[in-house]
Chain A
Amino acid sequence: MKALAAAAALVAALAIAGALAGAVPGGAAAVTVVLPYVAFCTLLGGLTWQVWRWAQTPVPYRIPTTCGQQRSLPWIRTAPIDNPDNGIMAAIRVVIEALTFRSLLRNSRARVGAGRLEFSEARLLWLASLVLHWSLLVIVLRHLRFVFLPTPFFVPTLDAVDGFLRIGAPPLLITDVLVLAALLYLLGRRVATPMLRYMSLFTDYFALLLLLGIALSGMAMRYVAPVNLVSVKEFALALVALHPLVPAAPSMLLLVHLMLVSTLAIYLPFSKLVHFGGVFLSPTRNLANNSRRVRHINPWNHAVPTHTYAEWEAEYAEKMKLAGLPVDGADRGG
Chain B
Amino acid sequence: MGPIVADKPAIDIELKAPAGDWRDARVEFRKGTFSNASLPKDLIPLGLPNPRKWQPTDLDWQLPRDWQRILLEGMRERLARYRSFRLFMDVCVRCGACADKCHFYLGSGDPKNMPFARAELVRSVYRRYFTTSGRLFGKLAGARELTEDVVKEWFYYFYQCTECRRCSIYCPFGIDTAEITMIVRELLSLIGVSTHWVTEPAANCYRVGNHLGIAPHAFKDGLDFARDELRDITGLDIEIPINRKGAEVLFVMPSADYFATPHYYTLLGYMMLFKEIGLDFTVSAYASEGGNFGLFHSNDLMKRLNAKIYAEAKRLGVKWILGGECGHMWRVLHQYMDTMNGPADFLEVPVSPLTGTRFENAVSTKMVHICEFTADLLYHEKIKLDRTRNDAYIVTYHDSCNPARAMGLLEEPRYVLERSCNHFHEMPAKTIREYTFCCGSGAGLGNDENMEMRLRGGFPRANAVRHVRAEHGVNLLACICAIDKATLPTLMDYWVPGVQVAGVHELLGNALVMRGEKERVTNVRGEPLAKGGAADG
Q: Which residues of A contact B (CB under 8 A)?
A: 6, 50, 53-54, 57-79, 82-83, 97, 101, 103-104, 106-110, 112, 115-117, 119, 125, 129, 193-204, 270-272, 274-275, 277-279, 281-285, 289-298, 300-301, 304-309, 312-313, 316, 319-320, 322-326, 328
Residues of B within 8 A of A195 (CB): 15, 17, 96, 99, 111, 114
Residues of B within 8 A of A316 (CB): 215-217, 285
Q: Mark B141-184, 1 if CB is under 8 A from A, else 0.
A: 11000000000000000000000010011111111100100000
Q: Is the pair B15, A309 in contact by a Cβ cutoff of 8 Å?
A: no
Q: Is the pair B216, A202 in contact by a Cβ cutoff of 8 Å?
A: no
Report the Cα distance A281→B87, complex, angstroms.
8
Report the Cα distance A174→B235, complex, angstroms.
77
Can you name the residue of chain B whose Cβ is closest to the Cβ of A2? B21
Q: Is B126 an interface residue (CB 8 A)?
A: no
Report the Cα distance A78→B375, complex, angstroms.
15
Q: Is the pair B90, A72 in contact by a Cβ cutoff of 8 Å?
A: no
Which of B82, B176, B221, B466 is the one whose CB lies under 8 Å from A57?
B82
Q: Is the pair B96, A193 in contact by a Cβ cutoff of 8 Å?
A: yes
Q: Which residues of B contact A (CB under 8 A)?
A: 9, 11-13, 15-18, 22, 47, 79-84, 86-88, 90-97, 99-101, 106, 111, 114, 116-117, 120, 131-133, 140-142, 165, 168-176, 179, 206-207, 209, 215-217, 220-221, 242-245, 285-286, 300, 303-304, 307-308, 311-312, 315, 333-336, 338-340, 342-343, 357, 359-365, 367, 369, 372, 375-376, 379, 404-412, 415, 428, 430, 433-434, 459-460, 463-464, 466
Given contacts A60-B339, A195-B114, A283-B83, contact A103 B171 (CB under 8 A): yes
Given contacts A196-B96, A272-B94, contact A202 B142 (CB under 8 A): yes
How many whole Å from B428's CB to the nearest CB in chain A?
Answer: 7
Which of A69, A109, A307 is the one whose CB lies under 8 Å from B408?
A69
Report the Cα distance A277→B363, complex, angstroms.
33
Which of A109, A115, A306 is the one whose CB lies under 8 Å from B308?
A306
Report the Cα distance A331→B333, complex, angstroms.
29
Residues of B within 8 A of A77 (CB): 411
Q: Is the pair A319, B217 in contact by a Cβ cutoff of 8 Å?
A: yes
Report whether over half of chain A's contact residues are helix, strand or loop; otherwise say mixed. loop
4 smallest beta-carbon distances between A and B, as pairs = A278-B173, A70-B408, A198-B17, A278-B91
Can you name the residue of chain B whose Cβ is closest to the Cβ of A65? B168
Q: List 30 A-B contacts (CB under 8 A).
A: A58-B82, A65-B176, A68-B410, A69-B408, A69-B410, A70-B409, A72-B372, A74-B360, A76-B375, A103-B174, A104-B170, A109-B100, A125-B95, A194-B16, A196-B94, A199-B120, A201-B142, A202-B142, A275-B93, A278-B90, A285-B174, A289-B407, A295-B342, A295-B343, A295-B365, A296-B338, A306-B311, A312-B207, A323-B216, A325-B216
Which of B179, B285, B335 is the one whose CB lies under 8 Å from A320?
B285
Q: Is the pair A301, B339 in contact by a Cβ cutoff of 8 Å?
A: yes
Which of B9, B175, B179 is the one whose CB lies under 8 Å from A278?
B175
Report the Cα distance A6→B139, complex, angstroms.
12
Given contacts A202-B140, A277-B91, A284-B84, contact A323 B335 (CB under 8 A): no
Report the Cα distance A272→B372, complex, angstroms.
42
Report the Cα distance A277→B86, complex, angstroms.
11
Can you name the residue of chain A whose Cβ is closest to the Cβ of B343? A295
Residues of B within 8 A of A72 (CB): 359, 361, 369, 372, 409, 412
Q: Is the pair A291, B335 in contact by a Cβ cutoff of 8 Å?
A: yes
Residues of B within 8 A of A322 (CB): 217
Report the Cα distance A312→B308, complex, angstroms.
11
Given contacts A63-B84, A285-B174, A319-B217, contact A204 B93 (CB under 8 A): yes
Q: Is the pair B179, A63 in contact by a Cβ cutoff of 8 Å?
A: yes
Residues of B within 8 A of A97 (CB): 172
Can you name the residue of chain B whose Cβ is closest to the Cβ of A280? B173
Residues of B within 8 A of A83 (CB): 408
Beyond contacts A63-B176, A70-B407, A278-B88: 7 other A-B pairs, Cβ-Cβ < 8 A, are: A58-B82, A67-B169, A272-B91, A272-B92, A278-B172, A291-B338, A320-B216
Residues of A within 8 A of B82 (CB): 57-60
Which of A57, A107, A323 is the one whose CB lies under 8 Å from B80?
A57
Q: Is the pair A61, B336 in contact by a Cβ cutoff of 8 Å?
A: yes
Can you name the residue of chain A whose Cβ is closest to the Cβ of B415? A76
How many whole Å from B232's CB to the nearest CB in chain A?
Answer: 22
Q: Is the pair A106, B79 in contact by a Cβ cutoff of 8 Å?
A: no
How many whole Å from A200's CB to the nearest CB in chain B?
Answer: 6
Residues of A within 8 A of B243 (CB): 325-326
How many whole Å from A253's CB to the nearest CB in chain B?
Answer: 29
How many whole Å from B115's CB to the nearest CB in chain A?
Answer: 11
Residues of A within 8 A of B360 (CB): 74, 293
Q: Is the pair B361, A293 in contact by a Cβ cutoff of 8 Å?
A: yes
How many whole Å from B493's CB to the nearest CB in chain A?
Answer: 16
Report the Cα distance A294→B434, complex, angstroms.
23
Can you name the residue of chain B whose Cβ is closest to the Cβ of A66? B408
Residues of A within 8 A of B311 (CB): 306, 308-309
Report the Cα distance A65→B407, complex, angstroms.
8
Residues of B within 8 A of A325 (CB): 216-217, 220, 242-243, 285
Residues of B within 8 A of A50 (CB): 90
Q: Is the pair B171, A274 in contact by a Cβ cutoff of 8 Å?
A: no
How many whole Å from B245's CB to the nearest CB in chain A?
Answer: 7
Q: Is the pair A300, B81 in contact by a Cβ cutoff of 8 Å?
A: yes
Q: Is the pair A203, B142 in contact by a Cβ cutoff of 8 Å?
A: yes
Given contacts A69-B410, A202-B142, contact A57 B217 (CB under 8 A): no
Residues of B within 8 A of A199 (CB): 22, 94, 96, 111, 114, 116-117, 120
Residue in A78, A125, A278 whose Cβ sees the most chain B Cβ within 10 Å? A278
Residues of B within 8 A of A65 (CB): 165, 168-169, 174, 176, 405-406
Q: Is the pair B86, A54 in contact by a Cβ cutoff of 8 Å?
A: yes
Can you name the residue of chain B whose Cβ is closest to the Cβ of A84? B408
Residues of B within 8 A of A101 (CB): 172
Q: Is the pair B90, A292 in contact by a Cβ cutoff of 8 Å?
A: no
Q: Is the pair B339, A297 in contact by a Cβ cutoff of 8 Å?
A: yes
Residues of B within 8 A of A289 (CB): 407-408
Report the Cα distance A109→B110, complex, angstroms.
17
Report the Cα distance A275→B90, complex, angstroms.
7
Residues of B within 8 A of A57 (CB): 79-83, 86-87
Report the Cα distance A329→B365, complex, angstroms.
29
Residues of B within 8 A of A309 (CB): 286, 308, 311-312, 315
Residues of B within 8 A of A58 (CB): 81-83
Can you name the residue of chain A whose Cβ is closest to the Cβ of B99? A195
Q: Is the pair B172, A104 in contact by a Cβ cutoff of 8 Å?
A: yes
Residues of A within 8 A of B13 (CB): 112
Report the Cα distance A308→B171, complex, angstroms.
41
Can you name the residue of chain A whose Cβ is closest to the Cβ of B139? A202
Residues of B within 8 A of A103 (CB): 97, 169-172, 174
Q: Is the pair A326, B244 in contact by a Cβ cutoff of 8 Å?
A: yes
Residue in B170, B173, B285, B369 whose Cβ sees the most chain A Cβ within 10 Å? B173
Residues of A within 8 A of B84 (CB): 59, 63, 282-284
Q: Is the pair A75, B169 in contact by a Cβ cutoff of 8 Å?
A: no
Residue in A63, A76, A101 whose Cβ sees the most chain B Cβ within 10 Å? A63
Q: Is the pair A304, B114 in contact by a Cβ cutoff of 8 Å?
A: no
How many whole Å from B159's CB to the nearest CB in chain A?
Answer: 20
Q: Is the pair B90, A274 in contact by a Cβ cutoff of 8 Å?
A: yes
Residues of B within 8 A of A104 (CB): 95, 97, 170, 172
Report the Cα distance A59→B336, complex, angstroms.
12
Can you name the residue of chain A whose Cβ is closest to the Cβ of B16? A194
